[in-house]
């Protein structure tokens, strides 16, 4: 079953010749490759936007027209992070490779990493955040996200059966890179979860929502974080994913080695995890010769 389309995609299907076929084929391709729904919707929306702008599919848009269009996105003052530009390049690159136009994909502008450090919430800010929501369900969602370093997709895919209170573990299934992992269940959050389950009586999914399959939606999670922040004194620009960044940083500061943190986060490479070395407040060890620790001075 094809996922619900956005209004922009619907417009493209009605207005641009051949776009309906593009929609179906890209959907099939993302499913076969095991890519996420969000990836499918993001790519398709970008392709719909540029197709609507020119009134034709990307393969029928000239390179000069695409360059001019991308330049206008990159210079758009409403998008200081150039996110629209980046996602359009990603979408077009995916599309051109998908239809066999690899040369056109390669010719698109290269994207340099911004190398921005993640924003971390300190422990006082986290306590204020977790205390702010009126609803128990919202408090549990935020605290659980931090306590286990969960991505939003991992949070909404959790089933009640994935929580093992006896073994104190959380089983995260088929997450990014299609891998399972086990992370520790906080004793503190376990108490809250038991209370939440007894009060809310969730069915199958740990957090029931309005999605077709009964799960909570990513937009719903983002809304909880956004509305909760309004009730706090926190001034930092953070989102739900910032709780995962804070989790990793605080574990590092607590002395957990970076290889273990990589495994807990489910990162594909250690290089991704190493960014937290730049934000963690680690004890400073003055420069010295290891020979002096091998043969310490005798008092």
97 part of the active site: no
Of 138, 139, 151, 215, which is the active-site residue? 151
For the chain, the distance separating the N- and C-terminal CA atoms, rounded to the nearest angstrom, is: 76
Of 43, 95, 247, 276, which is the active-site residue? 276
Alpha-carbon span 284 to 218, nearest angstrom: 39
Q: Which two tokens stand for residue 53?
A: 């702008």
Of 37, 82, 159, 176, which is the active-site residue? 176
244 part of the active site: yes
78 part of the active site: no
176 part of the active site: yes
Of 87, 171, 181, 267, which is the active-site residue? 267
Of 86, 157, 244, 262, which is the active-site residue? 244
267 part of the active site: yes
276 part of the active site: yes
Instruction: Return the active site residues.
Output: 151, 176, 241, 244, 267, 276
């Amino acid at each position: 079953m094809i996922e619900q389309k956005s209004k922009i995609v619907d417009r493209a299907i009605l207005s641009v010749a051949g776009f309906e076929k593009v929609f179906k084929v890209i959907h099939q391709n993302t499913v076969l490759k095991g890519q996420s729904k969000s990836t499918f919707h993001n790519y398709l929306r970008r392709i719909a936007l540029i197709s609507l702008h020119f009134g034709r599919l990307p393969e029928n848009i000239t390179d000069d027209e695409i360059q001019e269009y991308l330049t206008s996105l990159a210079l758009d003052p409403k998008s200081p992070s150039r996110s629209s530009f980046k996602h359009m390049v990603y979408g077009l690159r995916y599309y051109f490779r998908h239809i066999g136009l690899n040369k056109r994909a390669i010719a698109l502008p290269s994207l340099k990493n911004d190398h921005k450090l993640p924003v971390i919430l300190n422990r006082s800010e986290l306590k204020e955040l977790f205390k702010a929501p009126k609803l128990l369900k919202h408090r549990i969602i935020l605290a659980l996200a931090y306590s286990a370093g969960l991505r939003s997709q991992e949070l909404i895919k959790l089933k009640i059966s994935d929580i093992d209170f006896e073994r104190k573990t959380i089983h995260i299934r088929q997450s990014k890179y299609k891998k399972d992992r086990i992370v520790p269940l906080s004793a503190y959050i376990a108490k809250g979860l038991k209370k939440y389950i007894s009060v809310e009586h969730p069915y199958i999914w740990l957090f029931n929502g309005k999605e077709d399959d009964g799960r909570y939606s990513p937009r719903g999670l983002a809304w909880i974080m956004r509305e909760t922040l309004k009730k706090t004194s926190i001034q930092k620009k953070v989102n739900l994913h910032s709780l995962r960044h804070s989790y990793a940083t605080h574990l590092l500061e607590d002395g957990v080695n970076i290889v273990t943190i990589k495994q807990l986060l489910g990162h594909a490479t250690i290089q991704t995890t190493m960014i937290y070395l730049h934000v963690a407040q680690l004890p400073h060890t003055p420069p010295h010769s290891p020979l002096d620790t091998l043969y310490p001075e005798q008092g």
